[in-house]
Structure 1
């Protein structure tokens, strides 16, 4: 395969055959370094082809079969010389003209791709993924050609540095914009439900939101600012995920949308350290809260660190050393608690947990030495402990009579107590419940 430079008529077999690949449904070309040209018969030679993949063919220039009437998935990757906008290709629609069932288009690492006529692509397309096409620019919509029925389920643009006009991004239910370094502003299209903006470092101007947006999920990573007036502009937002945003110090005026149900923050140091200004207690629908911190938080002078709504059912806290038992006890609806890398873990357990708690996970807590039986809630049914090297005892009789599932990993001092058929704890747990002790 490494020596092939052309696919000639011999590829199709007998010259007399009108449809040489009449039943072929999947065709993949990969790692053909010298392939330059594909000779096309133009007879509709692939009538049943569903999937066409061309990957790592660095010298391929042209051209491709037309009238792929059954094609649903097309992938072109690592073909840097392939110019998809030449007259025989995308711009004239000759290539797409026969693709009446195309649903997925994936183009990756094609540096010759400079434009994509979004307005004239087939209306059957549901997913478009374009990655590492640094010269790609989106064409302005042509109202005379625009297919009003085109609404994508998914659009992903990754590493397309020439994209700088956000108003040209087509409508998509799920929109993911990643590492587009020349993007400085962004207009969220109507109809977008889920938006991911990842590592667009120059996106400094707050996002613009189309009137009446129904977006329910927003994920932002590696950016410098958050959307202004989220409460007003994103009234339907239910899920907000922020990660790797160390420069963001506070949320914009107005705070969070009232309907927010899930909030996640990973490595947002300044933002977490200003948590007293979040006013999360104003969010009656908040159900899940995830905070992954670096341990830089300090006690806030003048009162309790922060307040949380009693509606929270799942809480994940990592390396937040000022988490207090008083705060935990206020969460009267809390069912699942996941705590990791907390130096105050022993005191938290000794002061008690919410009476509603049914699932408790404790990870990477070297200061944990024991579990106080009298302070564990009777509602607890599942317990997982991982990487707690100083944990030396368990209230095993209480555990055996109360829990339905126990999982213990990498707790060396407990290992001999839980050893199969020999450990002191083994008789108490062997028949009582599902357990996993490694």
Structure 2
């Protein structure tokens, strides 16, 4: 394929040679003279130009079309014949030019020879013209000439002995001066037996490459070049230079830094011995496949900002790597250096911000040599790793010991990751986290501390400091080590929030373990949690959240005198939450949920003058709380749900809870009873689900003049088939929303009883599966919205406008059945209908005459 392409290139070249010779006045005057005339010359020029324009397309199409290949052969033969004719004529003309200045001289050509020459030339012109006329039949198209090419990819088999690749390269470069992309690389994977094919026989890049001033992409991969010419550094627009698998390339041009626009340099699998100096001046360089370190300390790396060493075969890194003179080096990566048993002394690199160490299989210990090179007289006495922000260890199979320097090591560290280092000893982790956190320059500014689990596999041990938030995560031993370290530190002066999770070992908090500044403590999934509840130990916490800590059996609020917010969830063995010192003036919010064994809460009396929200839910063994009364004059929200053994709510709610606005009571089965007339008078929202007897007769909630929302849940009312029963509803003058749900056997809705709710605007009926009828005159005329969901046949009757149902609801502007709106009246239409019903005409009165 490549031979054909190069052959095509030569054919194009020959056409240009013939064309150039025709432009020579000596040839025209000497060979053809006046007898031939200018018309044949012009025909030959036109034919050659037309043929050259078709050659590029024919070169591509010849491989699948034998006719095109034959066309190329015929054209090549015609052009060669024209070349031979010109050579013959010019050769004879050159030897006889001095003998006679006139071509009519008998010694030059006899008339017959001249006539034969003209006939032969006319035949070749006609032959080339005929070949040009076949373009439509062969499907050939004119492609711009070689001079205007922008991209040229040369590939395939050029191993033919007849192919002079250097000559072809020089010819290409001389004719394609506007190239933007040039590739000599063979595409795809190269089998071993073909590695001497393609342009791999290219040994020398010609100096004339400097003329391709527009070139942006140059691929010399898999060629046999040994050097690159210095003239290549004149390509000021070059952005990509690929030298992959140039196995004999040993040096790069010294002026490589002059390629100011170079963005991508691929030198993989080369034989380079070192990098050229000043390579750091390539400010636009984004991708450098590798950096080849020379034997000398002056290796051009001083000005680099990023260094990656992969697959180093030695056992000890060279000394120059630890030199503190590399002032601009910000990132170092050591990867897969399988034989190295000691880390270089990187601690004195002044600008190093990111360090990644991965796959050092023989490394067993990290000691003082990591932080400071004692043999380097240039080494300063600054703290080790003064600028390091990210430190990562990964896949260190034999690493057991890590000694952290006693001095202020890693003062700027923000992120530490230890992944898949299974041999690292736990006591080492304890020391590491303690010393690293202790030496952080910003640790005194930490406001949020989180210690938790990492669910990534393989697990990661690490630390992350983000602004004022410090997070430590990892396996069990890491969490324990971090927790012990934090508990013994005394300079977290600004710490306000602490989150501890997934610690299976014993977690105990002495009374003086927290800094005075700590306000919020969240503990989750700590199986062996313990608070010291001696009176002499006090905690200054403002917010305490405890989640799924099964070892917690009791909690005294007396040791939290400043506590404002308490939340306990899913502590399955918690039996009591006590408070003997009353009142607790700081307490504002309390939530205790899903604590199955809780039997006592706040003893007989809970006094919390500033308490606003109280929730007790899912405590199946709780019988009573604050039985003698809940003294919380500012309580606005009370929620007691799913406490199956609860017998009664706190007494005297009417007088002790004057600010209560919202009350949720869902207690099954029939154990919890509400005292008649004991509900607070200012109650606005009431959600109730109690025993069937009290649900039938709601007379226990009189005088709730402020109530606006009422939800009645009949989950345990299996015998109620008609609701609300006649005379069961009290006078509720302000009620606007009524929600009836979970009456499993309810069949009939009593409309007449609902007519007593004169302010009712919204009626919602949900999950009354057997509901199908409406009894009575109609629903209240004040209703604006009726919503029925999952409620048997009644929804279908409303949707189908059943003759017995529709008249009772047709006055309601908005009706929704199972999330489908079957009726909607705009406010104007609704008001118009209401006025019409009342006998008021909406028509305008005519203007009276003057």
Q: TM-score, normalised by structure 2?
A: 0.40
Query: Which consecutive residues of structure 2, in runs of 5 or more, have no partner in the other structure?
Result: 1-306, 311-329, 334-348, 356-363, 372-383, 393-398, 454-474, 820-850
* 1:265 has 2:640 as partner: yes
Does the aligned pair in 1 maintain the 2:545–2:568 contact within 8 Å? yes
Shift of 1:405: 3.1
- Which residues in structure 2 correspond to 1:36-435 (within 5 Å)? 42-46=385-389, 66-67=410-411, 86-90=430-434, 93-94=437-438, 97-99=441-443, 102-109=446-453, 110-112=475-477, 113=480, 115=484, 116-117=486-487, 120=490, 122-138=492-508, 140=510, 147-148=515-516, 150-152=517-519, 154-166=520-532, 170-178=539-547, 179-186=549-556, 187-198=558-569, 199=571, 201-204=573-576, 206-207=578-579, 213-221=585-593, 222=595, 223-228=598-603, 230-232=605-607, 234-252=608-626, 254-259=628-633, 260-271=635-646, 273-275=647-649, 278-283=651-656, 284-297=658-671, 307-321=678-692, 322-323=694-695, 324-341=697-714, 343=717, 344=720, 346-348=722-724, 350-351=726-727, 352-353=729-730, 354-366=732-744, 367-373=746-752, 375-376=754-755, 377-393=757-773, 401-419=781-799, 425=806, 432-433=813-814, 435=816
In terms of fraction of residues, the more strand-rich structure is: 1
In the aligned structure 2, how far is the partner of 1:208 from the partner of 1:299? 27
Name the residue aligned to 2:195: none
Q: Please identify, of 353-362 and 322-331, the stretch whose mean Cα deviation from structure 2 is larger.
A: 322-331
Answer whether contact 1:421 1:427 (CA < 8 A) is retained.
Answer: no
Task: In structure 1, list runs of 5 or more residues that go unmatched.
Answer: 1-7, 23-35, 53-58
Q: Does the 8 Å CA contact 2:785/2:812 hold for their aligned counterparts?
A: no
2:734 and 2:428 mapped to 1: Cα distance? 59
RMSD: 4.8
Displacement of 1:337 in angstroms is: 0.9
Contact in 2 for aligned 1:61/1:83 (Cα 8 Å): no
SS of the residue corresponding to residue 645 of structure 2 reads helix
Contact 1:163 1:183 in 2 (8 A): no
Distance apart, 1:368 and its partner CA: 4.6
Shift of 1:316: 1.0
- Paired with 1:63 and 1:306, the residues of 2 have a C-alpha distance of 72
**1:400–1:433 contact (8 Å) kept in structure 2:** no
CA distance in 2: counterparts of 1:299 and 1:141, whole angstroms: 42
Greater C-alpha radius of gyration: 2
| Residues 177 and 196 in structure 1, CA contact (< 8 A), matched pair in contact too | yes
- CA distance 1:374–1:224, change in 2 (3 Å): closer
Q: Deviations over 1:9-28 (max 9, x none)?
A: 76985468935569xxxxxx
**CA distance in 1 between partners of 2:794 and 2:496 (Å):** 53
CA deviation after TM superposition for structure 1 residue 266, in Å = 1.9
Distance in 1 between the 2:800 and 2:496 partners?
54
Q: Supply the distance in 2 between the matched residues of 1:299 and 1:137 (Cα, whole angstroms).
A: 41
Match of 1:437 in 2: 818
Does the 8 Å CA contact 1:384/1:406 hold for their aligned counterparts? yes
Kept in 2: contact 1:75–1:107 (CA 8 A): no
Summarize deviations over 1:167-223 as a string: whole Å, max 9, x none. 578533321123251453434423321112332625447245588641111122322
| Count of matched residue positions in the alignment of Structure 1 and Structure 2 | 395
For the residue of structure 2 that corresponds to 1:164, the secondary structure is strand
The Cα offsets for residues 213-240 of structure 1, whole Å up to 9 and x where unpaired, read as 41111122322211236444x2322222
Q: What do the CA deviations read for 1:19-47 (whole angstroms, capped 9, x no partner)?
A: 5569xxxxxxxxxxxxx999999354438
Q: Secondary structure at the match of 2:679?
A: coil
Distance in 2 between the 1:409 and 1:216 partners?
37
* Equivalent residues of 2:747, 2:771 under 8 A apart: yes
